[in-house]
Structure formats: structure tokens, C-alpha cells
Amino acid sequence: MSATSMIETLSDSDTVPAASLSEQSVWKQEGATPFLRIENVSKKFGEFTAVDNVSLNIYKNELFCLLGGSGSGKSTLLRMLAGFEAPTSGRIIIDGVDMAGIQPWKRPVNMMFQSYALFPHLSVEENVAFGLKREGLGRAEVKQRVNQMLDMVQLGHLGKRKPHQLSGGQRQRVALARSLVKRPKLLLLDEPLGALDKKLREETQFELINIQEELGVTFVVVTHDQEEAMTLATRIGVMNHGVIVQTAEPHDVYEYPNSRFVAEFVGSVNLFEGRVIEEQSDFVRIRSAEADAVLYVNHGISCAPNQKVHMAVRPEKMRISREQPKQQENCVCGVVEEYAYMGGLTVYRVRLASGKEVRVTQPNMSRSSSERFTWKDKVYLYWDFDSSVVLTA
Amino acid sequence: MSTPTGSAWLAGSGSRLAKYNFFKRVNWGRVSVFSVPTLWLAVFFFIPFLVVFKISLSETAIAIPPYTALLDWNAEDALISLKLNLGNYLFLFEDTFYLDAYLSSVKIAAVSTFFTLLIAFPIAYQMARSQPATRALLLSLVILPFWTSFLLRVYAWMGFLKKNGLVNEFLMGAGIIDQPLIMLQTDFAVYIGIVYTYLPFMVLPLYSALEKMDMTLLEAAEDLGARPVTSFFLITVPLAVPGIIAGCVLVFIPAVGEFVIPALLGGSDTLMIGRVLWDEFFLNRDWPMASAVAIVMLIVLVLPIMLIRNNQGKEESV
């Protein structure tokens, strides 16, 4: 496998999933039958509630990401889908069949483990063949399907090796091949790229999407890495303390977070606390002491007058300037406290008069450094009315 | 050292250079570490082995020690004569008694090793699966019997197994049997004694092999459609093979040469090579014959095991 050929295939397919997804969007269609239904599922370990009354519909051919920090319950939810844990209450229905009491070895589900869990005493071929042999398939068919699968993950030439003779990336492919070779209806992936280095991760992400598209298997991916979730997923379910906080497409999770937790967990964000001073169906005006400004957001929210809310704006949506802009609202003033030149962009940390610290990123459009700001510069930060979101939760 | 400027310089001081490098290259720390076990083996294993081997090639004599010398010094003709007696070895093969004793020992040891494995595996498995705190307790329980004398424990078994012993009393009290079972002085008692005595030697290597096992492998196997029984035989057992081999070697080798257990628990017809050795030494006072028996036992036991270990090492390095 050559690196160049892989990058080529990646760049070709790069746009494919996004395009085909916007056509599908099954989850937006009324009355579509979900492939996987999770109904009011809870899991308690003694006093500790790992998963708290989660309901979720996942549709065929989706690549659904459960995103959350450690202890958010995402892995427990995944293990319940695989059958390693039984829900304390609630139902899991896969393809119309209630999974209650069905053992892991009888489920139409396969899992790719975070540690890959390759059998160390078996060769790559034997690892991949393990599941097929349990189905009682003939030797010729097993061999043919194993070879086909190993070719797909570009490991056809390494079939005789043992797992410890492979690199991390190769092991990951073996694990993927092993979990896909049985043609499961549902593939569960536990931090599939967690053990790979950054470069390999990026390559593998797109490969995963390709494979998913090619085979038409429904994927449920668990990850703590928001970047991984963003690139892989058709939809993301953000989990916190055993609860799914928001379920939405990656774009919506990033641009329209529904709570402070989601806004802060996915990407970085600046939050301004304030009180609603004017509230209409199509805009909100907020008085923020923290920002020492009036904030204007061009979408309505349901809230009480004078309610305490937070306004969220992403660092890259802010503009930074030495001159005071014309706009009165959505404009704050501060002093550059620190900056980091990162090549493609520069990150500034600006301290406002109220003591609030704001993060701004600016793309470095020109090579000269005259456009950039330095310590102690007094700057104005401003942003468009449609760039920010009001969060009541 | 300055850089050599010509070939003449190199040729002239070649030998000195080599010596210098040799002393620099020898890692004295490593040598001292290795020399301790090597010396130990030489003094306490290899030299005694040679002594026994020497005795096995001599003849019995009514003397102290009770065998003839190999080297004979004839001062008259200034002749040293070396006399090697292979008769002992030939006799081992002529008299089927010895062959029977070897085979019987190997059989008893093999059967006991098998049962030890059968009993030790669940114990080790359970230990490896339990909580870390419980593990330490269980581990110390396995080692606990070593704190009492081995002889005492074998005598305790005599108390259990004898005609009016605990087992018979219990079975008769419960009404299961009405005649006491003859258990003591049978092969059965020997099996019990060996299995009981060597159980820890099987449990410990098995435990250390099973404890290292990654439990997600079993989940992976189940996920791929293997029932727990299947994943036990396809995943757990193969991964425990190093422990199984180590445990079997640790039990089998001493069990073949076991003397005390067959002497105390076995009957007069329990034929084991350890007893034959004892009888040759102390009843017949035929040291050369006894030495030959010991040497053959060593070759019969150690050679196959060395081959197995060698094979295993090769497989691991592939």
C-alpha cells in the first residue's frame, strides 16, 4: 500500500459522503422506520447510573457517533448494544427484534474493540476467519471471504502474520476486517482510531467512511474525540452523565449547540453571561456585564423577560480590529494578552475590561506580520448578528 | 586513541589492539551475574551427576564405598587400566523388572499430572478472575500447605484413607457403603497423594498465564459468535499453554521419581522407579546398579522435556 495512492483515493471520496448524505437524511423523513431503536434504556451499576433513560433512533446506513467524555456512559451504551451488559430498564430493538435476553453470540451485531482484542495466538487470517468458522461455513467459502476482506483493508499480503508482528495501523485494519467479515447488520466501533497517531487517523477516518458506504452497514461509533466525530458521523449524539444532551448532524452540533455543555465540549467557544432585555420572535437583545456591551442575536428563543442566559460565539467567527467598528452591538473591547501563531491561523487571547478572557482565531491571509496584533494591543472584537447562539441551558 | 595513519601502524600493533578490545568488550558485570547460577549448577548438579555416572560404570564390591574403582594403578608394570562396566546398563534392559518400573512410574506420573491439571485449571481460572484483593488471599492459601511438613501432610492422608479412617467412617455413617473401602496401600492412594502434593506447582504457573490474559479477548470471541464453551477452548486454553506446559513439567518430573508417597501410601505392588532406586541402594547395597537406574531415569525424563522446551522456544521466536 503506497501512501500516495491512498491519499488520492481519499481526496476523491472526500466529498462523496457529504453529498450523498444530504440526499438521504433519513432521520428527517416523517415515518421512516429506524433500524436501531433504543427506548428509555437505563443502566445502573449499584448506586451509580451509567446510562440514564436514553432514547435514540438510528437509521439504516447511518454512521452515528456517540460523543462524550470519559464516564459519560457512551461505552456502556455500546456494550449494551453488543450484549455484554443488560439494560437495567428499557428496550433495545435492532431491525425489529427486541434484544432482551439475546446473548452476544446470537446478535446480528459485531464490535470493533478499542484495544482491537485480536487473538494473539492466531494469525491475521485465522483472526478474521474466527467468526465465519463459528457460523459453520465451508472451508472454501471462509477462505474466499477472508481473502476478500483482507484485500479490502489492504492486508492481503500479511495474512500469515501474528498480531504482534503488525503495526498499530495494520492491527486496526485487522480488527475492522474481523468485525466486518460476518456482514453484521450493525457494526459497533469503540474509539476506532484512538490508538493511531494523528496522520494515520486522518487517513483511516476517510477509509472507514468509504467502507461504510461500500458495504451499507450501519455504524455506531463511540468516541471522545470531537474531531473524529465531526468527520465520521452522519449524526452525533453528545452524551454527558449518562444522558444524550443533543442529537444532530455534525454541522448543527457545532453551529447550533443546544446547551453550554455541547457548545464547550465540541470545539472551543466564548460564552457571555447576560440578561434578556428585549425578546421578539426573530431576535433577542441581551445586556451583558461581562462583555460590557449589548448583544444582539437574530434568532428568537423562548425565555422569560430579564432571564439569565448565555450567548455563545465561536473564536473563528469573531473579527479583530484596532479601529472601533461602526456596529454598536456585538462589539467588545479588550487588550491582547497572548497570541500563538499556528501557521494557518493565529490564536489571540484578549482580556476584556470585566476581566473576561476571550479567544479569537484569525486566518493568516497575508504573509506579512503587519496585519497581526501583539501583546498589549488594544483591540475591538465584533461579530455578525447571525454568528452567535443564545443558550438557556 | 589517535587515529591510525597507515597500514603499517595497524599491522604492528594488531595483537595489542585485539587484547585491549577484548578486555574492554567483556562485560564483567554480566559475567559475574551469569557465573553464579553456572557455578551453582556445576557444583550441585553437574559434578554429582558425573560422580553418579562414574559409580554406574563400576562393579559392586564388599568394601567401603561398596564399588570398585574405575582406574587401576599397577605399579609393577607401570600400567593404568581403565575398567568400564556396562553390565549394569545391559542388565537394566535384560530384566523387564526395571522397564516395568520405568513404565509404571511414567504412567502414574502422567495420570497424576493429568488430574492435577484438571483440578488446578478451575482453581487458577477462578483466582485470575477474582478481585485483586481476593487474589492475594487466594494465592497465599495455595502456598499455605508449604508451611507444614510434606511428610506430615502425607501422614494425614493415611489417616483419611485407612480402613477406619475419616473417609470410610463418613461414607459408612452416611449409609453409602456398608463395608469399608480399601484405599490405603493402593495405586489410588498414590494418585491422591501426588495430585494433592503437587497441586500448587500446577496452580501457580497456570494462574500466572491466565492472569495475563486480556478479558476483552473473550468478549471479542463471543461477539464473533463463539459460545462461552467454545471461546474457552479456542481462546483461554491456547493462551494458557505456556502455563500448562510449565505446570505439567513441574509436576511430572518430580512425580516420576517420587519415593515417599508410594512408600507411605502405595501398596507392595505399586511399582515406581524411586522405590526401586531406594531398594537397590539400601537393601541390595548395589550402588552401581542404583546409579545406572538413576542415570537412565534422568535421560528418559530430561531429554524429552529439553526437546519440548527447545521446540517451544523456537516457536516463540518465529
The total domain count for chain B is 2
Can you tell me the distance from the alpha carbon of B208 to that of B222, in angstroms, rounded to the nearest whole number?
Answer: 24
CB contact under 8 A, A82 and B239: no
Task: Report the percent of chain A where pLDDT is more than 90.
Answer: 51
B214 belongs to a structural domain = yes
Query: Within its chain, how far is the Cα of A189 from the centroid?
Result: 13
A11-29 pLDDT, tens digit per residue, is 444 444 444 444 557 777 7
Q: B55, B82, B109 — which closes off a domain?
A: B82
B303 belongs to a structural domain = no
State which residue of chain B sits closest to A104, comparing Cα positions: B223
Q: Residue B214: which of A82, A117, A178 has the nearest Cβ?
A: A117
CB contact under 8 A, B217 and A135: no
Q: Residue A110: which of B224, B227, B230 has the nearest Cβ?
A: B224
Query: Which pLDDT band, with edges at 50, 70 and 90, does A3 fall under?
Result: very low
Asked whether the predicted pLDDT for residue A122 surpasses 90, the reply is yes
B102 belongs to a structural domain = yes
CATH of the domain at B214: 1.10.3720.10
B304 belongs to a structural domain = no
Asked whether the predicted pLDDT for residue B317 surpasses 60, the reply is no
B310 belongs to a structural domain = no
Q: How far is B112 from chain A (nearest CA, A)?
A: 28
CB contact under 8 A, A84 and B219: yes
Per DSSP, the residues of B18-84 read HHHHHHHHS-HHHHHHHHHHHHHHIIIIIHHHHHHHHHHTS-B-SSSSSB--SEEEETTTTEEEE--
Q: Residue B224: which of A83, A84, A134 has the nearest Cβ?
A: A134
State which residue of chain A sits closest to B315, comparing Cα positions: A121
B46 belongs to a structural domain = yes
Contact B299, B256 (CB under 8 A): no
Query: Which pLDDT band, with edges at 50, 70 and 90, does A301 fall under?
Result: confident
Asked whether the predicted pLDDT for residue A45 surpasses 90, the reply is yes
B317 belongs to a structural domain = no
State which residue of chain A sits closest to B230, comparing Cα positions: A134
* Stretch A136-147: mean pLDDT: 93
B38 belongs to a structural domain = yes
Are both B120 and B223 inside the same structural domain?
yes
CB contact under 8 A, B224 and A182: yes
B156-186 pLDDT, tens digit per residue, is 999 899 888 888 888 988 888 888 888 888 8
Query: Which pLDDT band, with edges at 50, 70 and 90, does A263 fall under?
Result: very high
Are both B77 and B101 inside the same structural domain?
no
CB contact under 8 A, A119 and B223: no
Query: Which pLDDT band, with edges at 50, 70 and 90, does A253 fall under?
Result: very high
State which residue of chain A sits closest to B216, comparing Cα positions: A117
Task: Report the percent of chain A where pLDDT is more than 70.
Answer: 94
CB contact under 8 A, A134 and B222: no
Are both B58 and B202 inside the same structural domain?
no
State which residue of chain A sits closest to B240, comparing Cα positions: A121
CB contact under 8 A, B222 and A103: yes
Contact B130, B215 (CB under 8 A): no
Interface test with B, best of A102, A111, A116, A174 (most B CBs within 10 A): A111
Interface test with B, best of A121, A135, A185 (most B CBs within 10 A): A121
Q: Residue B230: which of A113, A121, A134 has the nearest Cβ?
A: A134
The amino acid at residue A60 is: K
| Grid cell 502474520 in the structure block, residue | A161
B3-46 pLDDT, tens digit per residue, is 444 444 444 445 555 556 666 677 888 888 889 989 999 999 89
Predicted pLDDT at B62: 81
Q: What's chain B's average pLDDT?
A: 86
State which residue of chain B sits closest to A110, comparing Cα positions: B223
Hey, CA dihedral for B209, B210, B214, B216, is it positive or negative? positive
In A, which residues are within 8 Å of B239 by CB distance?
120-121
Domain segments of chain A as ranges:
3-108+184-260, 268-391
CB contact under 8 A, B230 and A113: no
Is the CB of residue A120 less than 8 Å away from at least one CB of chain B? yes
CB contact under 8 A, A104 and B239: no
Is the CB of residue A84 less than 8 Å away from at least one CB of chain B? yes
Q: What is the DSSP letter of B147?
A: G
CB contact under 8 A, B223 and A130: no
CB contact under 8 A, B216 and A104: no
Query: Within its chain, how far is the Cα of B231 from the centroid?
Result: 31
- Mean pLDDT is lowest, of B192-196, B218-222, B293-297, for B293-297
Q: How far is A200 from chain B (nearest CA, A)?
A: 24
Please tell me the CATH code under which domain A3-108+184-260 is placed. Answer: 3.40.50.300
Query: Which pLDDT band, with edges at 50, 70 and 90, does A350 fall under?
Result: very high
CB contact under 8 A, A121 and B227: no
In B, which residues are within 8 Å of A118 by CB distance?
220
The CATH T-level fold of domain A268-391 is OB fold (Dihydrolipoamide Acetyltransferase, E2P) (2.40.50)
CB contact under 8 A, A117 and B217: yes
Asked whether the predicted pLDDT for residue B48 surpasses 80, the reply is yes
Are both B112 and B251 inside the same structural domain?
yes
Can you tell me the distance from the alpha carbon of A294 to that of A332, in angstroms, rounded to the nearest whole number?
Answer: 9
Q: How far is B217 from chain A (nearest CA, A)?
A: 5
In A, which residues are within 8 Å of B225 by CB distance?
105-106, 131, 134-135, 182
* Stretch A135-153: mean pLDDT: 91
Is the CB of residue A136 less than 8 Å away from at least one CB of chain B? no
In B, which residues are within 8 Å of A115 by CB distance?
214, 216
Residue pairs between chains A and B whose CB atoms are closer than 8 Å: 58
- Mean pLDDT is lowest, of A111-115, A351-355, B23-27, B142-146, for B23-27
pTM of the model as a whole? 0.78
Q: How far is A65 from chain B (nearest CA, A)?
A: 20
Are both B77 and B113 inside the same structural domain?
no
Q: What does the angle CA A61 – CA A261 – CA A204 come to, to the nearest 5 degrees?
A: 40
Coil vs helix vs strand at B105? helix
Q: What's chain A's average pLDDT?
A: 87
CB contact under 8 A, A105 and B226: yes
Q: Residue B217: which of A82, A104, A119 has the nearest Cβ?
A: A119
Is the CB of residue A160 less than 8 Å away from at least one CB of chain B? no
CB contact under 8 A, A119 and B225: no
Q: How far is A369 from chain B (nearest CA, A)?
A: 52
Hey, how many other C-beta atoms are within 10 angstroms of the C-beta on A27?
17
Phi, psi of A376 (to 5 degrees): 70, 0
Can you tell me the distance from the alpha carbon of A71 to that of A89, in angstroms, rounded to the nearest whole number?
Answer: 19
Is the CB of residue A23 less than 8 Å away from at least one CB of chain B? no
Predicted pLDDT at A56: 93
Q: How far is B205 from chain A (nearest CA, A)?
A: 18
Write out the residue range of the structural domain in which residue B217 sits.
95-285
Q: How far is A175 from chain B (nearest CA, A)?
A: 10
